[in-house]
Structure formats: C-alpha cells, structure tokens
Structure 1
Amino acid sequence: MAVLALRLAGPMQSWGDASRFTQRLTRSEPTKSGVLGLLAAADGRRRQDPIEDLAGLRFGVRVDQPGRLVRDFQTAIRWQDPKRPSMPLSYRYYLADAVFVAAVEGDRALLEGLDAALRHPVFPLYLGRRACPVTGRLNLGLHEGDVEQVLRRLDWQAAAWHRRRQGQVVDLPLHIDAPATLVEPEMVREVVRDVPLSYSPERREYGWRDVVQAAPHHVTNPDGRAGFDFMAALGGV
C-alpha cells in the first residue's frame, strides 16, 4: 500500500464532527471527513459527486503542534425582512497556530491522482472551514508503508518558536484508524462519526469509524530547553 502525507498548518483551523445549532465546535485534531473534503476539493469533485473511494482510505494524524483553542461569535440578520429580530448568537471554536501531519493509505493509483491534484488544486483548499486557508507546504508526497509507519518516519513539522518552548525530547500523539485485526489492549480506542458518505448540501451523511491512540512518536529536539537538574543545583552527584 502507498501513503499520501499532508502538512496541515495555518493561522486557524476548525475540525468539527458534532456541531449543532449555535455551537460550532472543533476537535483537537483533524477529522477524516475534513481532510477527505480537502482532497476532494483539490481533485475537482463537487459536493454531489461520489466519494466512496476516498471514504475507503485508511486515515491517521500526528499532532506536531497542538495550538490553542480560541472562540469567536457571530451574529446574523435577515436582510430580506429587517423588521424581524436578529438570528441567535452563534459561537465558533478554532485551533490557532496548530500544525498536524495527516496521512491516507490506500490504492497507489488513487493516491497518485490525489498527489497530482494537490499540486494543482481545482477548488480552494481550507482547513475545516472556508475561513481557514492553508499556509506553507501542504503536500508531503507519496510514501511506502502503512499510515503509522509513515507518520513515525516523517520529520517534525512544528514551527521554530514552538520547538524552543519544548523540552529536548517531545512526544507527538498519533490518532489512527483502527486496523481490521485486534487492537492492542493498551491502545485507547474511540468511536468517531466523521466518515463522509455524502457532502451534498441537501443531505450530508457521515458514518462511524474506530480510532486508536497509538504510542506517541518520540522526537529529539536540540532547540528545546534542557530540564532543570535539581540534584546538580544542590551540589549532588
């Protein structure tokens, strides 16, 4: 199997999977539906087009720079009937200054087409919502192996300022589609409803998937802060 990897970075990202009414939430990591939507846009697919081939890809994400949660609010009025009261206040949540590495695994021919589409996208690409454009390098290319192997192999993508604030060894969380075989007991497992079945505005549909938190990926950080040696400060050995 081949794996296509992406670097997801921008001033703002928002990856909702259960937003309702006036609350528009975001997960702390990219959703499968959001990333596949980005790939579909690059490929020139419209919302009514079939996406079964994309939904069948195995998905994983590595948290290279978690960012911080921010909240915005929006109001709206009915311009067609200004005498009517304004719409309810809605709250929108975003991740600021986050960086992720996402990967999809599947048929090489399909991924080669998506790789080419990312280099010359048909529609604008964004990170979960239209107000969240992609910045910097997006396409990390095609790789051999499975999702977990590739996510552990790729370089750390965090910004220099973030690296300086970390220690000299950093753990990067991994969230991966559960394999078909039995999951190791120590893995944290979660059921998430973010597999796109249809992006149609008339009837958006999503299915469920099992996600596991694999052992974090350890990276050395020569730019990080050295830990405080308490015994050395006391003159101990």
Structure 2
Amino acid sequence: MKALVLRLDAPMLSFGTTAIDHLGFTDYFPGTALLTGLIGNALGWEHRDFDKLQRLQERLRYAARWDIRPVRMVDYQTVDLGQPKMAEAGWTTRGKPEHRTGGSAKKETHQRYRHYWTDGLMTVVLTLLDEEEPDLNQIAQALRRPSRPLFLGRKSCLPSRPLLDPHTPIVEGEDLLEILRRVPRWVRSVGKDSRRHTGSEDLLPACWPDEIGTPSEIRGELKRVFDLRDWKNQLPAGSRWRMEGVIDVKESIEVN
C-alpha cells in the first residue's frame, strides 16, 4: 500500500462535526469529507463537480495522529449584518465575489461560538482505493502547487507550512496504521520550558480505519463518526465507524 504523508501545522485548525444552533464544534480528528474537500480544492474542482467529489470521498482512506497535542479555543463571534458594508460582496478562494441572500435574516445581529484547536501539529497518512484518477501522484502534485489557497477546516485556518511532507511525501507499508506508526513524529524546536510544545509524550492520540482493527500492543476503541457528505446537495450525509486510541512512534524529527 502507498500513502501520502501530510503534516497539518497551523495556528488554528477546525475539523468540524455536528453543529447545534449557533455552536460550531470541532472533532478531534479531520473527517473524510474535510479531506475530500481539501484535495478537491487543491485540484481546482468546484461545487458543481459533485460526482468527482463523491467518488473521491468513497475512495479515500486515512489515519491521523497528533504529534503535538492541541489546545481547545472557543471564539465568540458577533456580526451586524445590517451594516452597509455587509451588503457588499464577500471574498472567496474561488476568485469570484460572493453575494449574501436570505431575506430578513441577513439584516440581523448574529452571535455564534466557533471551536478551534490551537498550537497543535498533526500527521495524516492517506490512500485511495482502486486505480482511478486522480491517483496519489496527481494529488501530491496538486498539494505542492494548489489551484487555490488551502485552509484546514475554516477560511481562518491557514497552514503554517506546505501540507505535503517535504522529505517522504509518499510512503509504502502494510496498512495505514503501520505506516502512521513508522512515519517519524514531528516536534517543534522551542524553549526547554515549553514542555507541552516539544511533544514529550510517549503515546500519541490517533485514529485509523476500523477494518484494520487494533493490534494487541496498542489501545484503541471503536467510535461512530458523522463525517460524510452528500456533495450534490451540499449536506452532511451518513456515518461510519473508525478506531481511536493511542499509539507509539519511535522516531522523532525536530522542526522549526
């Protein structure tokens, strides 16, 4: 099996999950739809390319781990949509202006709470089922030179570095969990007093496909997640099972 190695490093990350009214929560790990949209954005696909996005989502498999555990942050946001400036078109990463619609609701004051992860560093290894296009090499090239700016969940979550691992962008292994445990852990080069940021923990939080199971030497449990999307109708749609637990990684690399 071949897998791409991504390093998600950003001041803020948001992986989305079930939203309740004005509360926008974030999952602890990225979801299948999020990674599908990230790749589709890098490839230059648009919302109307829903057949491509749906097929990519069906083919995508991944495992992820926190090399440096993040800190949760809740951002309180309020906006008066009745201001004259809010009637103007908003910016997008698609190169086209976005106009607001929505009747009287677009003129009210809105309040909401958005959850983020801060100061974390994550490694993701992902692969694709079946030999179709796009393949891993095409996705790797798109991540090196994306068609549009990329963000990790929300538009405010801009990556601090290129997403593709600069040294081993593609790795081969038995399965995604084996690859994830073998890929070196990244730790930041910071002062000796900032132990949380150096990544000194022996066991790292991780998730991986449920079909792999849990080897006897590591701890894991089955969890149901709601991270699939109906790309044609632009709606959350469906759930799946994944394994979550803690894993050990023997090799570490210090990065700036």
User: TM-score, length-normalised on structure 1?
Assistant: 0.80
Q: Please name the residue that 1:117 is paired with.
A: 142
User: Is 1:101 aligned to 2:123, yes or no?
Assistant: yes
Residue type matched to 2:54 in 1?
E
Q: Is the 8 A contact 2:182 2:250 kept in 1?
A: no
Q: Is the 8 A contact 2:38 2:151 kept in 1?
A: yes
Residue 222 (structure 2) aligned to one of 189, 196, 205: 189
Q: Is the 8 A contact 2:221 2:243 kept in 1?
A: yes
Q: Is the 8 A contact 1:66 1:99 kept in 2?
A: yes
Residue 150 (structure 1) aligned to one of 167, 170, 179: 179
- Determine the C-alpha separation between the residues in 1 that align with 2:234 and 2:119: 32
Aligned pairs, how many?
220
Query: What are the equivalent positions in structure 2 for 1:1-237 lying under 5 Å apart?
Result: 1-49=1-49, 50=51, 51-55=53-57, 56-79=59-82, 86-106=108-128, 107=130, 110-140=135-165, 141-145=169-173, 146-161=175-190, 165=195, 170-179=202-211, 187-198=220-231, 203-219=234-250
Q: CA deviation at 1:214?
A: 4.7
Residue type matched to 2:186 in 1?
Q
> Once superposed, what is the RMSD of the aligned Cα atoms?
3.0
Q: CA deviation at 1:79?
A: 2.5
> Judging changes above 3 Å, is the alpha-carbon distance between structure 1 residues 42 and 68 closer, same or farther for their aligned structure 2 residues?
same
- Determine the C-alpha separation between the residues in 1 that align with 2:77 and 2:247: 37
Q: Is the 8 A contact 2:182 2:249 kept in 1?
A: no
Question: What secondary structure is seen at the aligned counterpart in 2 of 1:115?
Answer: helix
Residue type matched to 1:36 in 2?
T
> Judging changes above 3 Å, is the alpha-carbon distance between structure 1 residues 44 and 211 closer, same or farther for their aligned structure 2 residues?
same
Q: CA deviation at 1:135?
A: 1.1
> Judging changes above 3 Å, is the alpha-carbon distance between structure 1 residues 48 and 16 closer, same or farther for their aligned structure 2 residues?
same
Q: Deviations over 1:92-114 (max 9, x none)?
A: 11111111111212246611110
- Determine the C-alpha separation between the residues in 1 that align with 2:186 and 2:238: 30
> Judging changes above 3 Å, is the alpha-carbon distance between structure 1 residues 80 and 136 closer, same or farther for their aligned structure 2 residues?
closer
Unmatched 5+ stretches in structure 1: 224-237
User: TM-score, length-normalised on structure 2?
Assistant: 0.75
Q: Is the 8 A contact 2:185 2:249 kept in 1?
A: no
Residue type matched to 1:173 in 2?
P
- Determine the C-alpha separation between the residues in 2 that align with 1:221 and 1:52: 36
Unmatched 5+ stretches in structure 2: 87-103
Residue type matched to 2:223 in 1?
E
Q: Is the 8 A contact 2:185 2:252 kept in 1?
A: no
Deviates more, 1:153-162 or 1:89-98: 153-162
> Judging changes above 3 Å, is the alpha-carbon distance between structure 1 residues 162 and 206 closer, same or farther for their aligned structure 2 residues?
farther
Q: Deviations over 1:7-43 (max 9, x none)?
A: 0010001111111321011122222222221111101
- Determine the C-alpha separation between the residues in 2 that align with 1:114 and 1:47: 18
Q: CA deviation at 1:74?
A: 1.2
> Judging changes above 3 Å, is the alpha-carbon distance between structure 1 residues 206 and 173 closer, same or farther for their aligned structure 2 residues?
same
The structure that has the greater radius of gyration is 1
